[in-house]
Amino acid sequence: MKSRLKSSIYIFLTVFIIDQAVKYGFAHFNWDVQGSVMSLQLAYNYGVAFSMFSFLAHYLKYIQLGLVILGTLYLYKNQDVFKEYYFAIALLYAGGLSNILDRFTYGGVVDYFYWHYLFEFAIFNLADVIIDLAVVIIIYKQFKQGKKSNNKVCEN
């Protein structure tokens, strides 16, 4: 358990620091670049995914922080879940807490990836990609475990 905790802390810190450094660059050094398929363009998201709930802009940081605290309490009480999903959890916390820190620091989440080839997509950031990756890993592991339990049931 201790090695998984150490690994997850290392993963968390690495991803969190990289994400915050990139966001700082966009927020303070005008790193905007226009491309034909995708652009790097500073935008602030005051809501959640696709700017939903932007009317809660001031309160979202507290709501999200509360959810992180509840998730942490759940993981503390269910350490077997943490053991199984520590890598994905580290990614999820790094991306989530980085976006929450943006809300406290900049008033909104710093976004900068802007896809605009053939269709326009919401502007997003590295933390969003990391969160999505964590969710994909969790779903994959759940699917894999489900197949294993189905095979055991069929064998009996």
DSSP the chain: -HHHHHHHHHHHHHHHHHHHHHHHHHHHH---B--SSEEEEEEEESSSGGGTTGGGHHHHHHHHHHHHHHHHHHHHH-HHHHHHHHHHHHHHHHHHHHHHHHHHHHSSEEEEEEE-SSS----B-HHHHHHHHHHHHHHHHHHHHHHHHHHHHHH-
pTM beyond 0.85: yes
pLDDT of residue 134: 98
| Model confidence pLDDT, tens digit, residues 4-48 | 999 999 999 999 999 999 999 999 999 999 999 999 999 999 999
Our answer to whether residue 80 is catalytic in this structure is no
Our answer to whether residue 128 is catalytic in this structure is yes
> pLDDT-derived band of residue 153, with 50, 70 and 90 as boundaries?
low
Residue 64 has pLDDT above 60, yes or no: yes
> pLDDT-derived band of residue 148, with 50, 70 and 90 as boundaries?
confident
| Model confidence pLDDT, tens digit, residues 76-128 | 999 999 999 999 999 999 999 999 999 999 999 999 999 999 999 889 999 99
User: Of the listed 19, 102, 128, 132, which one is catalytic?
Assistant: 128
Would you say 123 and 111 are in contact if contact means Cβ atoms under 8 Å apart? yes
Structural domain spans, the chain: 2-15+31-146
